[in-house]
Amino acid sequence: MIIKNANDPEVIRSSHTLPRGVSVRLLMAENLLRGLEYVAYVVLLPGQQMDEHIDQVEEVHFVCRGRGIMQVEEEEREVRERDAIWVPAGSAHSLRNPTGERLEVLIVGAYPRRR
């Protein structure tokens, strides 16, 4: 068993900042995981957004705290605490926090299964 906390020193060292100041901490990555690419903890402060981008992995975003606006391709919807959002590999997507509270999201990325 391996347990990682978002405040562990090694996880904090993995932190990086996306454009617009969005904070990302890699809880677990491909060097440790076998079937997943990464597990990341993202914090969007009030007014911040994760710009539209495309990943080669499919992702599941799980809203741990707060509310925001998720866009996947042409669809845009409000997301809130305890929502899980699936983003297919190769899909343009973004997330923004238009509220006055923190938005905390856990993102799991994995390569789609071959069928």
For 57-67, the pLDDT digits (tens) are: 999 999 999 99
Query: Does a structural domain hold residue 25?
Result: yes
Residue 71 confidence (pLDDT) above 70: yes
Q: What is the DSSP string of 24-89?
A: EEEEEETTT-SS-SEEEEEEE-TT-EEEEEE-SSEEEEEEEESEEEEEETTEEEEEETT-EEEE-T
Q: How many domains is the chain built from?
A: 1
Range of the domain at 82: 9-110
Question: Residue 70 — pLDDT band, cuts 50, 70, 90?
Answer: very high
pTM: 0.86
Helix (H) or strand (E) holding 10, with range, is: helix 9-13
Query: Does a structural domain hold residue 17?
Result: yes
Output DSSP code: residue 101.
Answer: S
Query: Does a structural domain hold residue 1?
Result: no
pLDDT score at 115:
62
pLDDT score at 29:
80
* Average pLDDT across the chain, whole number: 91
Residue 49 confidence (pLDDT) above 90: yes
* CATH code where residue 44 lies: 2.60.120.10
